[in-house]
Amino acid sequence: MTRRRWIADRVEGNRAYLLDQKAAHLARVLRAKTGQQFDIAAEGAVRLGTIVSITPAVVEFELGPTLESSPLPEIAVVLSIFKFDRLEWAIEKLTELGVARICPVVARRTELHLAKAVEKRVERWRKIAQEAAQQARRSAPPEIMPPVPLKKAAQETNGSRIVLSESEETALLKSVLSQCPAPLTLAVGPEGGWTAEELQLFERSGWTSSSLGNTILRAETAAIAAVAISMAEFSN
The pTM (predicted TM-score) of the whole model is: 0.86
Question: Cβ of 145: how many Cβ atoms within 10 Å?
Answer: 17
Q: Are 11 and 42 in contact (CB under 8 A)?
A: yes
* Structural domains of the chain in order of their starting residue, each with its CATH number: 5-66 (2.40.240.20), 75-235 (3.40.1280.10)
Condensed to tens digits (0 to 9), the pLDDT of residues 135-187 reads 898 988 999 999 999 999 999 988 999 999 988 888 999 999 999 999 999 99
- Among positive and negative, which fits the CA dihedral 184, 190, 191, 196? negative
Kindly give, in sequence order, each residue whose CB lies less than 8 Å from that of residue 87, ignoring residues fewer than 6 positions away. 79, 81, 104, 125, 220
Condensed to tens digits (0 to 9), the pLDDT of residues 52-94 reads 999 999 999 999 999 987 788 999 999 999 999 999 999 999 9
Higher pLDDT, 117 or 43: 117
206 DSSP 8-state letter: T
